[in-house]
């Protein structure tokens, strides 16, 4: 009997134990914050208002005031530029307050941030992207006879900016270049990450109210060609079509393109999440 126990003990000792690396690999898949039903409704309403504010209203005002009233073209653009982005800028201000005020900042600011008055990656890029748009509108409406083609460029300009940003960050990510600044929760000096990744983190933390915990889980889980294509197509159409047609194309086509890509993205992301969960379950089964 003693020999049998010794053999069993020896056999047990020979059974390979899972390494720490294997334990880390089969750690449960970090769950991301999912907005509740009421918050989802608020987000849907917000998207609709943004589309109205940045796309539908400028187009409606241009054609309605230009063809159904006696207003001069300069007055028409005075109305358009006066209301353009009004709701979006108010929303931007409220989101910035959540990052600035101490009573909110600890919930929503990027992981590891302690300084007051710092903007996340998405907020900074909104400011950068809107600057050339405002310059275009100012120059285009400065003359008594507004430059309609230039005033039709805001949406393509935003597509150009985001397209170059996404493609450039993707290339730097593949090259493993270090970040020269904090990209939201990714610290300076760490490898580059896709700009879209930071956008998703920031939007989920504030818009989706996932807060700092959402940022942490997103960091654990860790394409812009389409934007450049539609920006180029829109710009070409603006230059070759008549002014009245080009204005509608410039303001509307990028948004129509974005809506179609958004639908495709939803389907693709849901499919990818199912595949990701299946892969993690397979790792857990191997660990068992």
Q: What is the predicted pLDDT for the residue at 139?
A: 94
Say what the pLDDT of residue 135 is.
94
Res 106: pLDDT: 67
* Averages of pLDDT over each 10 residues, the chain, 288 residues: 45 45 48 64 81 89 91 90 85 79 71 69 88 93 91 92 88 86 82 79 64 59 67 88 90 87 78 77 65
pTM: 0.71
Of the candidates 92, 85, 93, 179, the residue with the CA atom closest to the CA atom of residue 133: 85
- 3 state SS for the chain: CHHHHHHHHHHHHHCCCCCHHHHHHCCCCCCCCCCCHHHHHHHHHHHHHHHHHHHHHHHHHHHHHHHHCCCCHHHHHHHHHHHCCHHHHHHHHHHHHHHHCHHHHHHHCCCCCCCCCCCCHHHHHHHHHHHHHHHHHHHHCCCCCCCHHHHCCHHHHHHHHHHHHHHHHHHHHHCCCECCCCECCECCCCECCCHHHHHHHHHHHHCCCCHHHHHHHHHHHCCCHHHHHHHHHHHHHHHHCCHHHHHHHHHHHHHHHHHHHHHHHHHHHHHHHHHHHHHHHHHHHHHC
């Amino acid at each position: 009997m003693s020999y049998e126990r010794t053999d069993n003990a020896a056999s047990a000792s020979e059974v390979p134990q899972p390494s720490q690396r294997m334990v880390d690999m089969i750690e449960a898949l970090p769950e991301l914050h999912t907005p509740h039903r009421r918050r989802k409704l608020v987000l849907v309403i917000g998207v609709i208002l943004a589309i109205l504010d940045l796309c539908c209203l400028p187009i409606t005002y241009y054609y309605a005031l230009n063809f159904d009233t006696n207003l001069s073209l300069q007055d028409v653009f005075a109305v358009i530029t006066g209301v353009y982005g009004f709701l979006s800028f108010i929303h931007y201000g409220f989101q910035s307050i959540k990052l600035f005020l101490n009573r909110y900042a600890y919930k929503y600011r990027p992981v590891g941030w302690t300084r007051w008055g710092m903007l996340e990656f998405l907020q900074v890029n909104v400011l950068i992207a809107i600057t050339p748009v405002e310059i275009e509108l100012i120059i285009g409406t400065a003359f008594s006879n507004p430059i309609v083609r230039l005033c039709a460029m805001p949406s393509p300009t935003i597509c150009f900016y985001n397209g170059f940003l996404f493609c450039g960050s993707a290339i730097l990510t593949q090259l493993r270049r270090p970040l020269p600044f904090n990209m939201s929760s990714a610290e300076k000096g760490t490898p580059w990450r896709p700009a879209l990744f930071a956008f998703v983190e920031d939007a989920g933390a504030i818009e989706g109210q996932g807060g700092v915990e959402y940022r942490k889980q997103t960091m654990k889980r860790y394409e812009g060609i389409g934007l450049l294509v539609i920006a180029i197509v829109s710009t070409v159409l603006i230059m070759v079509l008549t002014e009245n047609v080009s204005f509608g194309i410039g303001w509307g086509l990028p948004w129509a393109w974005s809506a179609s890509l958004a639908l495709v993205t939803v389907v693709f992301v849901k499919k990818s999440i199912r595949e990701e969960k299946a892969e993690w379950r397979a790792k857990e089964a191997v660990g068992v």
